């Protein structure tokens, strides 16, 4: 008998389409010169309620690499794609 195993994988928030949901697994913060982000970005995202284990839903994705509107903890936020790229999520079916 053949059994299929569902493999969950981490994806950046930018990989989710409108209406898709996921759970934040981590925030990928780079440290050092020219890499963007770092502790300041990680702290800012966490201050906005984007912490590991939080469910997040993509409401709208602006065209031409514009911001992404998300629903998190009952409110909506718009964040730039650079920030969204650093948020890793586990997709929920």
pLDDT band at 73 (very low <50, low <70, confident <90, very high): very high
Domain holding 38, by residue range, is 10-92
Residue 74 lies in a domain: yes
The alpha carbon of 45 is separated from its chain's Cα centroid by a whole number of angstroms, namely: 10
**Model pLDDT for residues 15-69, shown as the tens digit of each residue:** 999 999 999 999 887 655 545 567 788 888 889 999 999 999 999 999 888 999 9
In a domain, 2, yes or no: no
Query: Tell me, what CATH number does 20's domain have?
Result: 2.30.30.90
3-state secondary structure (DSSP) of residue 13: helix
> And the tokens for 30?
């780079």
Are the CB atoms for 14 and 84 separated by under 8 Å? Answer: yes
In the prediction, which pLDDT does 75 show?
94
């Amino acid at each position: 008998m053949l059994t299929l195993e569902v493999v969950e994988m981490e994806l950046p928030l930018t990989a989710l389409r409108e209406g898709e949901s996921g759970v934040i697994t981590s925030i990928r913060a780079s440290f050092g010169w020219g890499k963007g982000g770092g502790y300041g970005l990680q702290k800012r995202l966490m201050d906005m309620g984007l912490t590991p284990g939080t469910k997040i839903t993509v409401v709208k994705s602006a065209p031409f690499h514009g911001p992404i509107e998300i629903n998190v903890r009952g409110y909506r936020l718009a964040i730039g794609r650079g920030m969204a790229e650093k948020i890793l999520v586990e997709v929920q079916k």
